[in-house]
Structure 1
Amino acid sequence: MKHIKLLILLISIGSLVGAVALVGIYFYIKPDLPSVTVLKDVRLQTPMRIYTHDGKLISQYGVKRRIPVKLEDVPQDLINAVLATEDSRFYEHYGIDPIGLARAAFNLLLTGEKQQGASTLTMQLARGFFLSREKTYIRKIKEVFIAWHIEQVLSKEEILELYLNKVELGHRAFGVGAAAQVYYGKSLQDLDLAQLATIAGLPKAPSVLNPISGPERSKERRRVVLLRMLDEELITQAQFDEASAQPVSAKKHGAEIEIGAPYLADLMYSEMVKIYGKEEAETGGYQVYSTVPSATQQAAQQAVVRNLHDYDERHGYRGPVSYLWGNPDSQKANKEPTKQNQSPANDAWSEKEILNALAHVTRYYPLVPAAVLAVNEKSIDVLDADGERRTITWENLDWARAYITDSRQGDEPETANDIVSAGAVIYLRQQEGEWRISQIPEVAGAFVAINPHNGAVQAIVGGYSFYQSQFNRATQAKRQVGSNIKPFIYSGAIENGYTLASIINDAPINQWNAATGVAWRPQNSPAEYDGPIRLRVALGKSKNVVSVRLLRGMGIDVAVKHLEKFGFNPDDIPHDETVSLGSGSHTPLEVVRAMSVIANGGFLVQPFFIDRVLNEKGKVLWKTDPVWDCNPCSDNERSEAAVATREDADVEALLAAQLGSEVALGQEAEQKTKKSAPQVISSQNAFLVADMMRTGVRANGDWNKKTYWLGTGWRARNLLQRTDIAGKTGTTNDSRDTWFSGFHRDLVATAWVGFDDPNRNLGRATRNQNLINRNPEKFNWIGNAMIGAEDGAKAAGPAWIRFMQVMLDDVPYAPMPIPDDLVRVRIDRTTGKLTRRTDHTTLFEYFLQGTQPTVYVRDDEVVDPAQEDDNSALEPEEIF
């Protein structure tokens, strides 16, 4: 009895000391314990995801890959695997598993080593959120207290969901949703039992047990997980046998990008960093939606890439990337097809060696590296980097005459041996369903399209490939705009008393500058002069000297002030007469914004490319509130505004469905009054300029009556086959910069083509008879058959045309509305005066009320071109 009392006393004292020690430890570490608020509002570090306007993923930014999932969306097999492996008594304990702790303590006493952590799933969660991985007693004590604290605040389901989304699983994947994407490129619901067991086995040592870095270890770990599930009777023996026998199927996958638009994504990322800071932007789980629809962006990217390849091909082939084997010089010297050059050379590499070499060749979409296996008379056999063997036909080879300079090309090849030899490393790309020999274009390009009604960017392309050059030429490259400036000069002329029928002398200018001792002689391009010419025709033909004379008529200061109205930076506008020819340098985004003023009736909108930002739970944080082309702006003021509102509501509903969140559609339902953009020119002025620009993209007059003439962008009208478009070409001295800008009433776009080196001009292309012979009846006006000096119509115009062909397909004819205070009267074609005639010497013209001519043409002033012998005007099919 005495000994029992002593034992009870010792136990009591020990318990008291233990309790006191426990309380002391608790107060010691209490400052490190998370608050209830923190636990109730745990924020996962989720990467920023960037989407198109219609909800397709463009990119994601953030070191940690995480795709949060709801517990109800996690397959039960994965939950079973995790619990069986990591914490089989998860639903029985209160954050600390006494059995596990006792087992770990006993092991420590036996071995003296900390081999077993005895961490429950809740303790792992505590460590992951609030502690480090260092193996110390104080960290383990903190872990126990925090785990107990978590169990008091959160339910078991909440804890399990947090764990599944927080746990590190290797290759920068955090959470099971990200692991499924990184290792298998699928969602959790699409994984089989073997793959789910692989993910469940990763928490123990994600860096060495993952199936990419250690496939054999991963397979063994998967077997352990499956055995635990079998022991817990969570799977059958048959399921165990089948899953255990599965090969390791994982490989590294990037984010599930649905549409590649890296220039756009980079712009949006930079804007978010500017707003939130880099760390917050990359970890805050923001879902950023662009103004850009996926179809519009894809159309722009495809148009730019095709256009740059077309330019590049008509200027010649610069040869293979390298040679893996063979003597190219000796093979090229032998132009006769022989057995040797019809089959691989004796020293040809094996397929494995070729594929290893091709894997190290730089690859830019849509180019695919390939090795030439054999050269036949009119074809080549290749093996590409994807392991595909292909035969490239003569139709996809014969463009490749030798590049000499930007203005000189070699003779057309006669056989495939004139182009490449066996062993050559080349590039291929697909065009219209066929594979053709290709090369990385040296020329650069940019493209941007916006909605003229509110400035929402609809497409933006900063170059051939973001991975070749991250320099965004659409927003960063200030290049001389050439004749793209003329619509704004003509707008100023109209504001200062000129009309579309005003007669200006299209004659050479020779102005002596006494200060420099040099004469300024601006010339038309080509150097052809028509004498007295109407304003409409002068803009349509892009007459340089007429633009100079209009500037002189207005005065430089007046013209410069008028250009500033279109949003051009005053510092970039030259204060001399060269401004009328486009010597100022502006970005494509600045040019397209200025063009939108003409398209929308005179309003200066502000381009923007982020439509809305949502948090990780799908709640709208903010939505862009742009200015619109209306004054005053009421909901019934403009049909465009009403359509846009409906479209936004549709997209909002789509987002709500995709995110499973309660996106507040009521925000759109409120129909807030839209903010008005400043009106910088009158709607009448804008209409008149736009109508002149319509002349520039079509053939005008009557061929049989000899009144026929072509606008510089006439190919657009011929190919698009519609009259509700307007456009303007632009070419600088020596074709260093080429532009094409134009619009439909609901879409404005600008294309630029040039070299990044501003001193390098675009040169000229000579006739490639191979291309002409293949299709002699129909010249390819937007492809490689275009010849002569490069200009805005040839170099930049095709990108704009191809884009508009896609965007306007099935779009109903929609002419610009005619503003009030405009009248349309019949005038004489030559003098611009009123006329009583109704034949081909006359036409109808628009005038601002009160500016129409009041004098009738005399009979002796009438010029009838049909009675003249001038046959200089040629049909498009006759121009080479």
Structure 2
Amino acid sequence: MPTPIAKPSATAKKQNQAKSPQPPKRWLRRLLLWPIYFGIVITLVVAAYATYLYHQLPDPNSLKNVSYQVPLRIETSDGKVITEIGEKRRIPLEYPDIPIRMIQAIISAEDDRFYQHFGIDLKGIARASYELISTGSIQSGGSTITMQVARNFFLTRDRSFKRKFNEIILAFKIEQTLTKQEIMALYLNQIFLGHRSYGVAAAAQTYYGKPIHELDIHEFAMIAGLPKAPSAFNPIANPARATLRRSYVLRRMHELGYITQDQFTTALAQPIEVTLTGVRIETEAGYIAEMARQFALERFGETALEQGLTITTTIRSDHQDRANAALRSGLLEYDRRHGYRGHVAQLDPALLDDSSAIDTLMREHPQPGGLRLALVMALTDNQAQLQLRNGDQITLTFAQADWARPHRGLDRLGPAPTQLDQIIQAGDLVYVIPHPNEQGNWLLAQNPRAEAALVALNPRNGEIIALVGGFDFFKSRFNRVTQAKRQLGSAYKPFLYSGAFELGITAATVINDAPVVFHDAALEDIWRPENYTGRFYGPTRVREALIHSRNLVPIRLLQEVGVAPIINHSQRFGFDLAELNRHRNLSLALGSAQFTPLEAARAYGVFANGGFLVEPYFVREVRDFNGQVIYQANPLQACGIQCDERDPGIAPRAITKQNAYMITSILQDVIKQGTGRQAASLNRQDLAGKTGTTNQQFDAWFVGYNPDVVTSVWVGNDQPSGLGRRETAGRAALPIWIDYMRHAVADSPNIPFLQPEGLVYVPIDRSTGQAVPADTPGAYFELFYPDQAPEIPVIRPNNLRDLTRELFQ
């Protein structure tokens, strides 16, 4: 029998079990699988959250019609820039308009794989993560240009994981919606680059004062280095760090093959030369710019200053430039007549070598109206060495300052100086202006105390072609053209005579220019008006009274025809009825009613255009950001020679063309032989106008015109006070008008005003105004309405010889 196999004992079983390997326990397997499970869950959660976010985040399609915050741009009618108004400077560009060098520079600085990745640069993120782990800080960053677009347009700039995650998902979404070119254009137009500049085109203007297409390689690189930290790498605030950052961008451009070694070396050697440049203003028109700003806000709402609107005004740049110069020259000349008030400030002569002290002093004072600050550095041999604010050195001779008699009062001057050191001393801070006739030379000047206003209109449609509301907009923003209501003085008289012509008075009517006393409680207890000369001229024809601006004749005339009819007639010229009624007395004849220079220009425009009341306007059109016209002016026009006055586009008729021509013919004589005869120096046959000087020379006016332009000039003080003895309109206001009109009418045909039908000339006696035979010595041919024309007397021959001569002639 086989030997039976013995069964192991229980103890042996336990020992054998201890020696053999044991299978892993279930809990251990689960423990090892948890990271995998957790990773799957996290991935699913992240994917679900990303999917959810993908649909919840903003639609990138909105970026295709993005509306940038672009400043309001204001231009002249011929396209010159007046100003830009807005908190952000931006000049948006379409992708094809962006220089390739700019794109290369920004890619080199910010995202060199922009055209390869799908909005998220995994390599960049990995590199940034490694740098964070190894150094504790991110050196190169992980944001792509697309991610920056997502952040700039849709997200906040807070540092959080949620915002970063949203940025990544949104960047991916943007890449699925927009082209790379569209994304790049959005970025380069939106990015902030310091000093209120948004976008690369605005930065080019801000730092280099030129269009982006004119930049060099090193300048593109400087701008491309700004997005990372506009304040830290700003070339104005920190040129040293800006240079380092620019060098990095240039090196990256070279490494990526965008520039050659020679280009890299040359660009690297260029100095940082930047100047903080504001808006490139091509025509100075601060007052019209403010009017345009108000227009935009009223018509397009509070966001009008950031919609990228462009307002084209009716201003003509050449007219505006001449108007600025004429007004300032006239005020400076007026100011010189009243003496020198001394230096602006003084610097201790011991500090004349301290450039910091000089710079501080000069920056404490403005330079209004083209005046230039200059510090007197030394005086030798009756001439002075001066330093301008920009550091330039100039010379001032005694002949360039000899006008400067000391100011002792409005009508009092000190003795005439004989030496320059009697006028200025070393350390004096003074104003100078360029010499108008000697290039490179200067004249001593001072900031005028008086003010002035000038406005010029096209009388055919009311467009404002030049407007200057004061000596300098930044000295005083009070617009005297539209806001300063002042007495018109004698400049009102043409409207009185125009009304009188409709009431039976003629230009030949004789009225006695003699003393008169009125007891009128509405004026004063006793009113004794007189002429400016203090003389009385006896019987005077209406034409002569207006030519020489007699005062007694219009008062007696107003008394004869009545105040009410003249007020009603004056209202036709656009004058405010309430203001006219406030002066419902005989003082109205001398222009006691108060109106603005713009209202005066509009009223005189009725005479200039043949009798039509046109409305002044200054905005020709408004274009939106895309260049579409969203507002177009449609002014009513004065009716020309061949037009139908019933046309809805024709302005309302205020007076007859015959009435307008009769007043014009008299106002032409004002220039030929009357109070405005200085204007005869323009050698024109088509000028008409009227002076206006109020009581005690508070206000000086000249309003005049030809068929193409009507110009109103006012000179006075903002707080009404006298301009000084002999400062009449012909001396204070007329020179400004002449200076401007010399340019304004240069292109107008020099031909007389066209006389309309319905008027006749009748020879009259200059003394009596009675009709006389045409061959009467000294006879004057006067204009009349046919039904008011006096009959020429028939002279009967008193002997046979005279009768025979008459028969055979």
Which residue among 468, 485, 509 is the counterpart of 2:492?
Answer: 485
Partner in structure 2 of residue 271 of structure 1:
295
Between 66-75 and 103-112, the greater mean CA deviation after superposition: 103-112
Partner in structure 2 of residue 828 of structure 1:
765
The answer as to whether partners of 2:324 and 2:468 remain within 8 angstroms in 1 is yes
1:695 CA displacement: 0.9
The answer as to whether partners of 2:72 and 2:84 remain within 8 angstroms in 1 is yes
Evaluate the alpha carbon distance shift between residue 34 and residue 521 of structure 1 in structure 2; reply closer, same or farther with a 3 A threshold: same
The answer as to whether partners of 1:392 and 1:435 remain within 8 angstroms in 2 is yes
1:554 CA displacement: 2.0
Partner in structure 1 of residue 711 of structure 2:
749
Which residue among 413, 419, 425 is the counterpart of 2:417?
Answer: 413
Partner in structure 1 of residue 52 of structure 2:
27
1:202 CA displacement: 0.6
Partner in structure 2 of residue 168 of structure 1:
192
CA–CA distance in 1 between the matches of 2:203 and 2:667?
55
Q: What SS does the corresponding residue of 1:627 show, helix, strand or coil? A: coil
Partner in structure 1 of residue 805 of structure 2:
none
CA–CA distance in 1 between the matches of 2:585 and 2:365?
49
1:721 CA displacement: 1.3
The answer as to whether partners of 2:377 and 2:386 remain within 8 angstroms in 1 is yes
CA–CA distance in 2 between the matches of 1:149 and 1:81?
26
The answer as to whether partners of 1:824 and 1:846 remain within 8 angstroms in 2 is yes
Which residue among 218, 225, 234 is the counterpart of 1:201?
Answer: 225
The answer as to whether partners of 2:523 and 2:587 remain within 8 angstroms in 1 is no
CA–CA distance in 1 between the matches of 2:50 and 2:261?
48
The answer as to whether partners of 2:691 and 2:701 remain within 8 angstroms in 1 is yes
Partner in structure 1 of residue 802 of structure 2:
none
Q: Deviations over 1:180-232 (max 9, x none)?
A: 01011111122111111000011111122111111111111111111111211
CA–CA distance in 2 between the matches of 1:430 and 1:217?
40
Q: Which runs of 5+ in 2 are unaligned?
A: 1-23, 797-809
Amino acid at match of 1:761: G
Amino acid at match of 2:461: N
Partner in structure 1 of residue 309 of structure 2:
286
The answer as to whether partners of 2:509 and 2:542 remain within 8 angstroms in 1 is yes
Which residue among 551, 573, 585 is the counterpart of 1:544?
Answer: 551
2:613 is aligned with 1:604: yes
1:114 CA displacement: 6.7
Which residue among 373, 377, 382 is the counterpart of 1:369?
Answer: 373
Which residue among 158, 168, 179 is the counterpart of 2:182?
Answer: 158
What pairs with 1:790-805 in structure 2 (closer than 5 Å)? Answer: 790-805=727-742
Partner in structure 2 of residue 298 of structure 1:
321
Amino acid at match of 1:586: F
Partner in structure 2 of residue 461 of structure 1:
468
Evaluate the alpha carbon distance shift between residue 7 and residue 622 of structure 1 in structure 2; reply closer, same or farther with a 3 A threshold: farther
The answer as to whether partners of 1:379 and 1:392 remain within 8 angstroms in 2 is yes
CA–CA distance in 2 between the matches of 1:174 and 1:829?
73
CA–CA distance in 2 between the matches of 1:181 and 1:446?
33
What pairs with 1:397-412 in structure 2 (closer than 5 Å)? Answer: 397-412=401-416
Relative to the length of structure 1, the TM-score reads 0.83
Partner in structure 1 of residue 651 of structure 2:
677
Evaluate the alpha carbon distance shift between residue 172 and residue 312 of structure 1 in structure 2; reply closer, same or farther with a 3 A threshold: same
1:476 CA displacement: 0.7
Amino acid at match of 1:553: E
Q: Deviations over 1:612-667 (max 9, x none)?
A: 11112222222100011128x9xx639xx9xxxxxxxxxxxxxxxxxxxxxxxxxx
Evaluate the alpha carbon distance shift between residue 848 and residue 516 of structure 1 in structure 2; reply closer, same or farther with a 3 A threshold: closer
Partner in structure 1 of residue 678 of structure 2:
715
The CA RMSD over aligned residues, in Å, is: 2.6
Q: Which runs of 5+ in 1 are unaligned?
A: 327-345, 642-672, 700-710, 765-788, 860-880
Which residue among 720, 723, 744 is the counterpart of 1:762?
Answer: 723
1:107 CA displacement: 4.3
CA–CA distance in 1 between the matches of 2:134 and 2:241?
28
The answer as to whether partners of 1:483 and 1:731 remain within 8 angstroms in 2 is yes
What pairs with 1:118-517 in structure 2 (closer than 5 Å)? Answer: 118-278=142-302, 280-325=303-348, 349-350=353-354, 353-376=357-380, 378-432=382-436, 433=438, 434-513=441-520
CA–CA distance in 1 between the matches of 2:53 and 2:107?
32
Between 236-245 and 118-127, the greater mean CA deviation after superposition: 236-245
The answer as to whether partners of 1:377 and 1:417 remain within 8 angstroms in 2 is no
Which residue among 671, 680, 696 is the counterpart of 1:697?
Answer: 671
CA–CA distance in 1 between the matches of 2:208 and 2:189?
17
1:31 CA displacement: 3.7
1:497 CA displacement: 1.1
Q: What SS does the corresponding residue of 1:275 show, helix, strand or coil? A: helix
Q: What SS does the corresponding residue of 1:489 show, helix, strand or coil? A: helix
Q: Deviations over 1:406-434 (max 9, x none)?
A: 11112221221221222221111013233
2:787 is aligned with 1:850: yes
Q: Deviations over 1:533-574 (max 9, x none)?
A: 111111111111111122112211111111111111122221
1:856 CA displacement: 3.3
Q: Deviations over 1:9-52 (max 9, x none)?
A: 9869855752453233442574441352x122111111111101
1:246 CA displacement: 1.6
CA–CA distance in 2 between the matches of 1:66 and 1:429?
35
1:474 CA displacement: 0.8
Evaluate the alpha carbon distance shift between residue 4 and residue 693 of structure 1 in structure 2; reply closer, same or farther with a 3 A threshold: farther
CA–CA distance in 1 between the matches of 2:737 and 2:777?
33
Amino acid at match of 2:562: G
The answer as to whether partners of 2:702 and 2:712 remain within 8 angstroms in 1 is yes
The answer as to whether partners of 1:503 and 1:831 remain within 8 angstroms in 2 is yes
CA–CA distance in 1 between the matches of 2:162 and 2:523?
84
1:106 CA displacement: 4.1
Partner in structure 2 of residue 84 of structure 1:
108
Amino acid at match of 1:118: G
> How much identity, in percent, do the aligned residues show?
41
Q: Deviations over 1:431-466 (max 9, x none)?
A: 323311010000111110111011100111011011
Q: Deviations over 1:837-866 (max 9, x none)?
A: 43552111111221111253999xxxxxxx
Equivalent pairs counted in the alignment come to: 764
What pairs with 1:69-108 in structure 2 (closer than 5 Å)? Answer: 69-108=93-132
CA–CA distance in 1 between the matches of 2:652 and 2:595?
21
CA–CA distance in 1 between the matches of 2:407 and 2:496?
39
Evaluate the alpha carbon distance shift between residue 148 and residue 563 of structure 1 in structure 2; reply closer, same or farther with a 3 A threshold: same
Relative to the length of structure 2, the TM-score reads 0.90
The answer as to whether partners of 2:369 and 2:471 remain within 8 angstroms in 1 is no
Amino acid at match of 2:86: G
Partner in structure 2 of residue 770 of structure 1:
none
The answer as to whether partners of 2:53 and 2:169 remain within 8 angstroms in 1 is no
Q: What SS does the corresponding residue of 1:206 show, helix, strand or coil? A: coil
Partner in structure 2 of residue 869 of structure 1:
none
